[in-house]
Structure 1
Amino acid sequence: MATFFLVIIYLAFISLGLPDSLLGAAWPVMQKDYGVSLDTAGLLSMSMAGGTIISSLASGKVIGRFGTGKVTFVSVLMTAVALLGFYFAPSLVWLFIFAIPLGLGAGAVDAGLNNYVATHYKAHHMSWLHCFWGVGATLGPIIMSQFISNQQSWRNGYLTIAIIQFALVVVLFLTLPLWKKAGGTGTDETKEVPASTRESDEPLKKENPLRIKGVKLAMLSFLLYCGAEAAAGLWGSSFLVAVKDLPAGVAAQWVSLYYGGITAGRLITGFVTFKLSNMALIRSGLVISLFGAVLVFLPLPSLFLLTGFILIGMGFAPIFPCMIHETPVRFGKEHSQAIIGYQMALAYTGSTFIPPLLGLLAARSTIGIFPYFIAILIVALFVCSERLNILMKKGILFKGTKRNTTAI
């Protein structure tokens, strides 16, 4: 049953990924249809992520009251209805209205499932979990690009994704009894819990998680990473169309390869975790993504440009799941749900404000700043990550409990 339960969680993460990359892929066409400015996509993205911040902050209480299964089912249903709303939206105002439930549908299930896997499964499961998010994020622009290229219809792209979401809703509804048997938020697979998180957490039970050394730095890391990932996905197509003169359909396909890089990278990372620690994978990913950003802003042939987008995605691949999986190791299982909730809130804060910031700067200058902006975020994230590694090596994270920093 535990394996089948994990498959359901993977399916839920496909549903999380499907809508995330749609707006960026469709925006060059949507912008013309609605006759609005380039940076309006940033405001829409902000509306979605704002809803997700609210639901992720409330995730602990909501999941505690209703259970992970019901929260996941309702969240995916909200997402499906919102995507259907995008298909019917007669004006820009309606896009903003439906952006709210689209964001609310993601937060609670995201934080809940991330914490469940971080505390009950080894690092490769976390990478593969987010690989399935990448499957959804990759399929989104691929589907959208087909409708844009063949029919110039972004609406049918949204309709198709909505139908897929409703199919996942049916699967989740039929498997609700499985969540009840598993206790809503966990199973008996304690053998999968990292050894370092099973040690006594007694000294930390009364401590405010936000006052634990390194927590705020970890939260900042999530803000920077998700801001960079979302900005690359949202503005990649616009950069390729405006600066590199690619057709909108081709640009959407190239952005799908960016998400494909994330997906493939997380699949590979799941196997690499048997040999390398989370910290080593985060460091390697940052170096690869920075190299990809350099390829994008250098005046090189199109093949190098495409390679750059793929490398940015592959470099990003291990960062988020490895940072999530390190949370109970760094700060203790006792506080992991609360801290992951805070981290997810900061992650979506990054998704909310950083892409619009890039859009605002681009509207006042040129979208050509896109690769430089992404590179700056990667460098800032590298600094934060290395600072956390230093604190961990000094043994001052998670005071009161013996540390185990070896690879899981």
Structure 2
Amino acid sequence: MADRAARQHSPAGPKAADTPVFSGVAVVASCVGFVLIGALQALYGPAIPALRERFDLTPSAAGLALSAHFVGGVTGVLLFGPLNGRIGNRRTLGGSYLLMAIGAAGFAMAPDWPVALAMALLAGLGFGGVDYGLNQLFATGFGRRSTAMLNILNAHFGVGAVLGPAVIGAVGSERYAAVFLGFALVALPLLLCLGGVRDTGAPETDGHAPPVSTGARIRNRSLGTVLAAFVVLYVLHVGIEAGVGGWEPTHLETVGFGAGVAATATSVYWLMMTAGRFLVAPLALRFSAPSLIAVSCAGMTVCLLLSWTPEFAPYAYAGVGLFIAPIFPTGLPWLNRAAPQARRAGALVIAASMTGGVAAGPVLGMTIEWSGIRTVPLLLGAASALCLLATLWLARVTRQ
């Protein structure tokens, strides 16, 4: 009876649930798109030595390229979020891929630094549109498999983040322009695969369950609080992700490890994050999103506290990468089920997650100046504990 009522009240009807949001080719192309945005974000750092030489920049000025990329990313999410409902999925993704390709090519061929920064901002706009568009479609477009598919999609982001610096390292930072141009050329064929993306709204269910569980029908007066809790979860966990990636090498060297060991351990951290998303995909078919995220936050907190002990630190940081991996992709389908009346909530939390990544560096840096490098695991562990509290509260208020 409940299933019948849900189908009767669904504006899309039963046929919508049977119509796939993606063709097989479009799914593969989407994963390639996430490899590309992962690589793009990771290319700026290894290119800094060549950028400094070409444009005669200080280290802080050269770092503005990544900042411009992140500013463009946040703007792209907030811009394409409202536009997506008006212009459709294909145009949103197509425009985003074009902006990303044009920005990357323009960054490679920029005659001066201001133009290069403008192109990094443009590429970031496209990055944000792809990030939002595909995350939102995968979060709602595969029924009960959405969480698993979203983890697989975001795992490909990690593949790109590993491959991007590897390519720069192989060809040399002085050839960064050729790498960015190659990136732009690879992005363009993805436009041909957009015919396999359905242009209407994605179904929320696979026909075996109502679109929204009874307990997930949040009252309007508490909707803002629920969204705020999701924002806190996303800002903090992405801040932890960026904080570990940025400060793990320095912390390990401070407690007695060599520079080579510290660099290798940091690479392992990123690899474990990528592996964790592939590994959690089958688990997402058996366990609920609140359970997976609660276990992830608890494991992340324990590993961060263990990394305060020098002999455990490299292994504990690898554990952090494994446990933090599922939080971002697993939280989006949960958000869509918990707050279906806030259709653009996904754009808000994705933008918030990018803001967390931008703010993590300076905020953690200022705190470390006061407390010392050795406190990095404790500071990040405290933030992780807050993630766990937010998750437990959200699990309680959205419980069926």
The residue aligned with 1:130 is 154
The residue aligned with 1:344 is 350
Residues in 1 aligned to 2:195 and 2:40: alpha-carbon distance in whole angstroms:
27
Residues in 2 aligned to 1:251 and 1:160: alpha-carbon distance in whole angstroms:
27
The residue aligned with 1:271 is 282
Is the 1:134–1:260 contact (alpha carbons within 8 Å) kept by the matching residues of 2?
yes
Deviation string for 1:102-152 (max 9, x for gaps)?
Answer: 3212222222222212222122112111112222122223334445xxxxx
Residues in 2 aligned to 1:194 and 1:348: alpha-carbon distance in whole angstroms:
35
Residues in 1 aligned to 2:153 and 2:237: alpha-carbon distance in whole angstroms:
18
**Matched AA of 2:299:** I
**Matched AA of 1:307:** Y
The one of 164, 167, 170 equivalent to 1:143 is 167
How many residue pairs were aligned? 372
Residues in 2 aligned to 1:319 and 1:390: alpha-carbon distance in whole angstroms:
17
How far apart are residue 306 of structure 1 and its match? 3.7
- How do 1:97-108 and structure 2 match up within 5 A? 97-108=118-129
- How do 1:85-124 and structure 2 match up within 5 A? 85-87=106-108, 93=114, 96-121=117-142, 122=145, 123-124=147-148
Is the 2:105–2:184 contact (alpha carbons within 8 Å) kept by the matching residues of 1?
no
Q: What 5-or-longer segments of structure 1 have no aligned partner?
A: 148-152, 394-402, 404-408
- What SS does the aligned partner of 1:183 have? coil
Q: Do structure 1's residue 183 and structure 2's residue 199 form an aligned pair? A: yes
The residue aligned with 1:36 is 58
- What SS does the aligned partner of 1:357 have? helix
The residue aligned with 2:228 is 216
How far apart are residue 324 of structure 1 and its match? 0.6
- What SS does the aligned partner of 2:384 have? helix
Q: State the TM-score, normalizing by the size of structure 2.
A: 0.78
How far apart are residue 77 of structure 1 and its match? 3.5
How far apart are residue 91 of structure 1 and its match? 6.9
**Matched AA of 1:285:** S
How far apart are residue 93 of structure 1 and its match? 5.0
How far apart are residue 288 of structure 1 and its match? 2.8
The residue aligned with 1:406 is none
Is the 2:240–2:384 contact (alpha carbons within 8 Å) kept by the matching residues of 1?
yes
Residues in 1 aligned to 2:35 and 2:200: alpha-carbon distance in whole angstroms:
20
The residue aligned with 2:381 is 375
How far apart are residue 38 of structure 1 and its match? 6.4
Deviation string for 1:254-274 (max 9, x for gaps)?
Answer: 433322111110111001112
Q: State the TM-score, normalizing by the size of structure 1.
A: 0.77
The one of 177, 185, 197 equivalent to 1:166 is 185
Q: Do structure 1's residue 197 and structure 2's residue 211 form an aligned pair? A: yes
The residue aligned with 1:353 is 359
In the superposition, relative to structure 1, how do residues 365 and 328 fare at CA in structure 2: closer, same or farther (>3 Å)? Answer: closer
The residue aligned with 2:337 is 329
Residues in 2 aligned to 1:21 and 1:221: alpha-carbon distance in whole angstroms:
24
Residues in 1 aligned to 2:88 and 2:251: alpha-carbon distance in whole angstroms:
42
How far apart are residue 280 of structure 1 and its match? 1.6
The residue aligned with 2:38 is 17
**Matched AA of 1:257:** V
Deviation string for 1:140-195 (max 9, x for gaps)?
Answer: 23334445xxxxx434356435514421322x12223333xx22654xx7753783
The residue aligned with 2:10 is none
In the superposition, relative to structure 1, how do residues 251 and 66 fare at CA in structure 2: closer, same or farther (>3 Å)? Answer: farther
How far apart are residue 229 of structure 1 and its match? 1.9
**Matched AA of 2:229:** L
The one of 313, 320, 327 equivalent to 1:312 is 320
What percent of counterpart residues are identical?
Answer: 22
Is the 2:108–2:177 contact (alpha carbons within 8 Å) kept by the matching residues of 1?
yes
The residue aligned with 1:150 is none
The residue aligned with 1:400 is none
Give the CA RMSD over aligned residues: 3.6
**Matched AA of 1:356:** P
The residue aligned with 1:399 is none
The residue aligned with 1:258 is 269
**Matched AA of 2:364:** L
The one of 277, 280, 293 equivalent to 1:282 is 293
The residue aligned with 2:6 is none
In the superposition, relative to structure 1, how do residues 46 and 238 fare at CA in structure 2: closer, same or farther (>3 Å)? Answer: farther
**Matched AA of 1:317:** A
Q: Which has the higher relative contact order, 1 or 2, with Cα contacts under 8 A spaced 6 or more apart?
A: 1
- Structure 1 stretch displaced more, 321-330 or 280-289: 280-289
In the superposition, relative to structure 1, how do residues 310 and 204 fare at CA in structure 2: closer, same or farther (>3 Å)? Answer: closer
Q: What 5-or-longer segments of structure 2 have no aligned partner?
A: 1-21
Is the 1:14–1:134 contact (alpha carbons within 8 Å) kept by the matching residues of 2?
yes
Residues in 2 aligned to 1:165 and 1:242: alpha-carbon distance in whole angstroms:
40
